[in-house]
Amino acid sequence: MNSKYKILITGAAGFLGSHLVEKLHNLGHTVIGIDNMMGGYEDNVIKGTEFHKLDCCDLPKIQEVMKGVDVVYHCAATAHEGLSVFSPYEITKNNYLASVSIFTAAINNKVKRIVYCSSMARYGDSKTPFTEDMEPKPIDPYAISKVASEKVLANLCEINNVEYVIAVPHNIIGPRQRYDDPFRNVVSIMLNRMMQKKAPIIYGDGEQRRCFSYIDDCISCLIPMMDQKNLNREIINIGPDEEFVTVNKVAEICSNVSGFNSEPIYKKDRPQEVKHALCSADKARKLLNYKTKTSLRDGIVKTYDYIKKRGTKEFDYNINLEIINDLTPETWKKKEI
pLDDT, tens only, 293-330: 999 999 999 999 999 999 999 999 999 999 999 999 99
d(CA 197, CA 91): 31
Query: 172 pLDDT band (50/70/90 cuts)?
Result: very high
Given a cut of 70, whether residue 214 has pLDDT beyond it is yes
Render pLDDT for 145-169 as a digit per residue (tens, 0 to 9). Answer: 999 999 999 999 999 999 999 999 9
Query: 2 pLDDT band (50/70/90 cuts)?
Result: low
pLDDT of residue 3: 84
pLDDT of residue 324: 98
Given a cut of 70, whether residue 241 has pLDDT beyond it is yes
User: What's the rounded mean pLDDT across residues 111-123?
Assistant: 97
| Strand pairing report for 50-53 and 163-169 | unpaired
Cβ burial of 197 (10 Å; 0-12, 13-18, 19+) is exposed
pLDDT of residue 276: 93
Can you name the residues that pair with 261 across neighbouring β-strands? none
SS (H, E, C) 276-327: ECCECCHHHHHHHCCCCCCCHHHHHHHHHHHHHHHCCCCCCCCCCCCCCCCC
Given a cut of 90, whether residue 202 has pLDDT beyond it is yes
pLDDT of residue 1: 53
Domains in the chain, start-ordered, CATH in brackets? 6-173+213-238 (3.40.50.720), 186-210+243-277+295-333 (3.90.25.10)
